[in-house]
């Protein structure tokens, strides 16, 4: 007989050993967000790119990204990761029913897809998310750089991005009509 009660608020967390075990056996679901600033007509004027230090100390560029927890909606996961990476005053403007502009599949071995992650096989739903507030990076992000759409789509930024995320950034810009 099961009992009804308050769900465990941390039920979506796995310990390091458990996470490693799961990563070796099945794909994990992620959300990724490209934060943007809009003008009065709703056109993208700036694109936010995070600066992070990788595990081996290398400086890389990235976008907002993270796992979806068990029992969590896509919208909730997006909001949580945007707040974690950009700070509580970023004020993301999420759609009621978010629809990704692309689905990226990351593999541990490079070459299977444009996206790679040496830790795991992951499937990521990617979104463009307007933010209206003040962004102050938190967690492992060192800074957020606001770039023009042209600069964000440049080869130099793509080379700085980890795991093929330069392709995701370009796809985001194409999805909003800003890839020239």
Decide if 111 is inside a domain.
yes
Q: What is the pTM of this model?
A: 0.86
**Does some domain include residue 18?**
no
The more confidently predicted of residues 151 and 55 is 151
Give residue 176's pLDDT. 96
Nearest alpha-carbon partner for 86 in 58, 66, 101: 66
Task: Indicate whether 21 belongs to any domain.
Answer: no
Nearest to 125 by CA among 34, 44, 54: 34
Residue 30 maps to a domain: yes
Domain that holds residue 100: 26-175
The dihedral formed by the CA atoms of 135, 55, 158 and 46, expressed in degrees to the nearest 10: 0
Looking at the domain assignment, is residue 162 inside a domain? yes
CATH of the domain at 111: 3.90.79.10
**Total count of domains within the chain:** 1
Instruction: Read off the pLDDT of residues 1-12 as tens digits, 9 standing for 90 and up.
Output: 444 444 444 555
Rounded Cα–Cα distance for residues 151 and 139 (Å): 25
Q: What is the pLDDT of residue 139?
A: 73
Q: Evaluate whether residue 51 is within a structural domain.
A: yes
Is 9 inside a domain boundary?
no
Picking from 22-31, 70-79, 156-165, 170-179, which range would have the lowest pLDDT averaged per residue?
A: 22-31
């Amino acid at each position: 007989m099961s009992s009804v009660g308050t769900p465990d608020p941390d039920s979506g967390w796995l310990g390091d050993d458990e996470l490693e075990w799961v990563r070796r056996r099945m794909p994990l679901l992620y959300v990724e967000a490209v934060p943007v600033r809009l003008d009065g007509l709703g056109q993208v004027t700036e694109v936010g790119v995070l600066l992070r230090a990788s595990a081996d100390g290398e400086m890389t560029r990235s976008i907002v990204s993270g796992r979806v927890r068990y029992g969590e909606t896509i919208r909730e996961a997006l909001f949580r990761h945007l707040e974690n990476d950009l700070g509580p005053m970023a004020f993301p403007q999420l759609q009621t029913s978010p629809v990704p502009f692309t689905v990226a599949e990351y593999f541990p071995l490079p070459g299977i897809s444009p996206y790679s992650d040496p830790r795991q096989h992951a499937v990521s739903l990617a979104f463009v998310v307007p933010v209206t507030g003040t962004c102050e990076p938190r967690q492992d992000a060192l800074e957020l750089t606001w770039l023009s759409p042209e600069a964000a789509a440049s080869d130099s930024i793509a080379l700085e991005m980890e795991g093929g995320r330069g392709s995701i950034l370009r796809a985001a810009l194409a999805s909003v009509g800003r890839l020239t």
